[in-house]
Each structure stands twice: as C-alpha cells, then as structure tokens.
Structure 1
Amino acid sequence: MAKGYWVSAYRTISDPEKLAAYNKLAGSAVRAAGGRTIVRGGRTVAHDSGIVERTVLVEFDTFEQAVAAHESAPYQEALAALSDGVERDFRIVEGID
C-alpha cells in the first residue's frame, strides 16, 4: 500500500500564538493517528518558481490513514485553534508504492 503524506506550505503566519496552540494540538492528533512529522520548518532552498516558506511534511502508513487523520475530531480541534492565524497550502498526497 502507498503511504500518505500531509504537505503544508505556510504562505504567511499572522498569529504566532494561534500557530503555537495548533502545533500542540495537531502534534498529539497526528501521533495518535499514526503519523510521523518528518519535516517541520528548517532550511529551504527554492528553485524555479518556488518560494522559501515554512514547510511541514507528515507521513502516514497509508493514504487512507492520512485522510482519516485530517477528518478526526482531535485534528479538527487543532484546526479550530489555528483559525485564521496562518495562510497555508495544505494537501494530502499519495506516495508511490
């Protein structure tokens, strides 16, 4: 089965306190759902039309697990805490078998 990944690129962070609250709740929600954060911020080099922005990559054992984690009550609570604190591009993608 192909792994599933959450890919988030943070365009702007307007409320660091909301982001901190989200990170605390989201981290435990991700771990409870079997996810592993493998990239969170750190150094970035952008090429082509890329933009240097905070990027987060979370790995799940399956695509379905990644989708279910996003829909879970604990993660929805984290999203409520984040609210309008950031502008980000969030997607769930399927890995290659």
Structure 2
Amino acid sequence: MAKAYWIATYRSIADPDALAAYAKVSGPAIAAAGGRVLVRGTPAQVYEAGLNERTVVIEFDSVDAARAAHDSEAYQHALSLLGEGAVRDIRIVEGAEG
C-alpha cells in the first residue's frame, strides 16, 4: 500500500494567535492518527508559478489514514480553534511507489 501525503499551503494568515492555538492542538491530533510531519515552513526557493506560502507536508501510511486523521474529532476540534484565522489549500496525495 502506498503512503499518502497531506499537503497544506497557507494562502493567507489573518490571525496568528488562532494559528498558534490550532498548531498547539493539531500537531498532537495528527500524530495520534499516525501522521508524521516532514515539512513545515516557508519555501527556501520558488520557481515558475510557485508562491512563497507556508507549506506543511505530513506523511501517513495510507490515504485512508490521512482522511481519518482529518475527519477525526481531535483534528476537527483543532480546526474550530483556527476558525477564519487562515485561508489554506489542503490536498491528500497518494505517494508514488518504487
């Protein structure tokens, strides 16, 4: 079974305090669901139509595990803390094998 990657880019951050509250709760919720944060921060370099946006990449054992983490009660609570504090683009992508 291929691993899956949850990729989040932050188009804008309107409330840094809400983002901090979200981060404090979301990290443990994601880890409890089997997620492993691989990347968190702004790009060192962007090319072509790339945007200089905060990016987070989280690895899961499968697409189902990534979906379950997102839909979990613990992560949904974290989202409630974020509220309208940020505009994000989140994608779950299956990893390429081999």
Q: TM above 0.5, one fold?
A: yes
User: Residue type of the partner of 2:54?
Assistant: R
Percent of matched pairs sharing the same residue: 53
- 1:35 has 2:32 as partner: no
User: Residue type of the partner of 1:12?
Assistant: S
Q: How far has the Cα of 1:32 moved from its partner?
A: 0.2
The TM-score with structure 2 as length reference comes to: 0.94
**Structure 1 residues not aligned, in runs of 5+:** none
Local SS of the residue matching 2:70: helix
- 1:10 has 2:10 as partner: yes
User: Residue type of the partner of 1:82?
Assistant: L
Partners of 1:67 and 1:76 in 2: CA distance:
12
2:47 equivalent in structure 1: 47
Q: How far has the Cα of 1:88 moved from its partner?
A: 1.0
Q: How far has the Cα of 1:44 moved from its partner?
A: 2.5
2:59 equivalent in structure 1: 59
**Structure 2 residues not aligned, in runs of 5+:** none
Runs of 4+ in 1 over 2 A off after TM superposition: none
Partners of 1:4 and 1:18 in 2: CA distance:
27
Deviations 1:5-43 (A, max 9, x none): 110111111100000010011100011001000101044
Number of corresponding residues: 97
The TM-score with structure 1 as length reference comes to: 0.95
